[in-house]
C-alpha cells in the first residue's frame, strides 16, 4: 500500500502541530501548512514533514496553490482544515471587516481547499477531510462564542454537511470539536492538552472505509449541529 499524504493547515503550533505529529507517527507523509514559510518549515522539521506556505486570508489564491501542491507532491489523500482565528466581540461589537476576515480563514479557504482536492479524492474513491470546528459553531449549543468565530464555525459545519453529500460515501468529510484545549487560543486554564484535542481529528483523518461521514464529533462521539 502506498504512503498516503496529508495536508494540515495551521500545523505550526497547538492542535495543528499535534495533529501533524500524530499523523506522521502513523506513517503518513505530512504537508505542514502555515501562513509563512518559516513557520511551516519549523513545523516540518519537528514532525519530519514537508513545509507548505499557505496564507488562508486570501481564499481566491488558496485553490490554485493547493492544485500546485498536488502537481509537486502528488495526490493529497487527507485534508485537515485546522487553521483558525478568533477575534473578540459580540454581534454588536464586531466589525464587518472582522467577520469577513474570520470567514475567509475559518470557512471560505477551507471550502477552497476542499474544492481543490475533493474531486480527485472522489475519483480515486478514497479521501478523508476533517474540518476543525467548535461547539461554539453549534446551533444546538446556542452559538455561544465570540460572534465572528461562532458564525464562521457554523458556516464550516454547513460546508462539512454539504460537501459530504457532494463527495459521496468513499470520501469521509466530518467536523470536529476538539474541546477546550490549552493553546494560545484556548488559554492555559483550558481542561484538555493539545494531544487530547488532536485525538479525534486524527481518528477522523484515518477512518476505515466503513467510518462515518457528514457528522460532527467530540471525543469520538457524534454531537448535534
Q: Report which DSSP code applies to 183.
A: S
Q: Report which DSSP code applies to 128.
A: E
Rounded to an integer, the average pLDDT of 185-194 is 67
Whether the pLDDT of residue 194 is over 90: the answer is no
Whether the pLDDT of residue 188 is over 60: the answer is yes
Residue 118 region by backbone torsions, left for phi larger than 0, else alpha for psi between -120 and 50, else beta: alpha
Catalytic residue at 114? no
190 pLDDT band (50/70/90 cuts)? low
**Domains of the chain, CATH where assigned:** 5-222 (3.40.50.720)
pLDDT of residue 200: 96
Q: Residue 121: what are its φ and ψ, rounded to 5°?
A: -60, -45
State how far the Cα of 89 lies from the Cα of 20, in Å rounded to an integer.
31
pLDDT of residue 2: 80
Contacts of residues 200-204 at CB distance under 8 Å and 24 or more positions apart, as own/partner, are 200/176, 201/15, 201/19, 201/80, 201/82, 201/130, 201/132, 201/176, 202/19, 202/22, 202/23, 202/26, 204/128, 204/130, 204/172, 204/174, 204/176
Spatial neighbors of 32 by CB under 8 A, at least 6 apart, are: 8, 11, 12, 20, 40, 43, 44, 47, 49, 50, 51, 52
Catalytic: which of 147, 149, 216, 217? Answer: 149
pLDDT of residue 63: 85
Average predicted confidence (pLDDT) for the chain: 93
pLDDT of residue 193: 77
Q: Please, what is the Cα angle at 139 between 17 and 84, to 5 degrees?
A: 25
Looking at the chain, the whole-number percentage of residues with pLDDT higher than 70 is 94
pLDDT of residue 192: 72
DSSP codes, 101-125: HHHIIIIIHHHHHHHHHHHHHHHHT
C-alpha cell at 121: 479524492
Question: What does DSSP say about strands 216-218 and 221-222: parallel, antiparallel, or unpaired?
Answer: antiparallel
Residue 209: CB atoms within 10 A of its CB come to 9
pLDDT of residue 164: 98
pLDDT, one tens digit per residue, over 5-62 is 999 999 999 999 999 999 999 999 999 999 999 999 999 999 999 999 999 999 989 9
The candidate with the shortest Cα–Cα distance to 31, out of 47, 13, 15, is 47
C-alpha cell at 172: 469521509
Looking at the chain, the whole-number percentage of residues with pLDDT higher than 90 is 84
Least confident of 15-19, 78-82, 130-134, 178-182: 178-182
Amino acid at each position: 500500500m502506498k504512503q498516503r499524504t496529508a495536508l494540515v493547515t495551521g500545523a505550526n503550533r497547538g492542535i495543528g502541530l499535534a495533529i501533524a505529529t500524530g499523523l506522521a507517527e502513523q506513517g503518513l507523509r505530512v504537508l505542514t501548512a502555515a501562513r509563512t514559510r518559516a513557520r511551516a518549515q519549523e513545523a516540518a522539521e519537528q514532525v519530519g514533514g514537508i513545509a507548505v506556505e499557505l496564507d488562508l486570508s486570501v481564499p481566491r489564491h488558496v485553490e490554485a496553490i493547493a492544485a500546485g501542491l498536488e502537481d509537486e507532491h502528488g495526490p493529497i489523500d487527507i485534508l485537515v482544515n485546522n487553521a483558525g482565528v478568533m477575534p473578540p466581540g459580540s454581534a454588536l461589537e464586531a466589525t464587518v471587516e472582522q467577520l469577513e476576515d474570520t470567514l475567509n480563514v475559518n470557512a471560505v479557504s477551507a471550502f477552497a481547499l476542499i474544492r481543490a482536492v475533493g474531486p480527485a479524492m472522489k475519483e480515486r474513491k478514497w479521501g478523508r477531510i476533517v474540518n476543525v470546528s467548535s461547539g461554539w459553531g453549534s446551533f444546538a449549543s446556542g452559538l455561544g462564542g465570540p460572534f465572528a468565530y461562532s458564525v464562521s464555525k457554523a458556516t464550516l459545519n454547513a460546508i462539512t454537511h454539504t460537501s459530504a453529500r457532494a463527495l459521496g460515501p468513499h470520501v469521509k468529510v466530518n467536523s470536529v470539536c476538539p474541546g477546550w484545549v490549552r493553546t494560545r487560543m484556548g488559554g492555559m486554564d483550558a481542561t484538555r492538552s493539545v494531544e487530547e484535542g488532536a485525538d479525534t481529528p486524527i481518528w477522523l483523518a484515518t477512518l476505515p472505509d466503513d467510518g462515518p461521514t457528514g457528522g460532527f464529533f467530540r471525543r469520538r462521539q457524534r454531537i448535534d449541529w
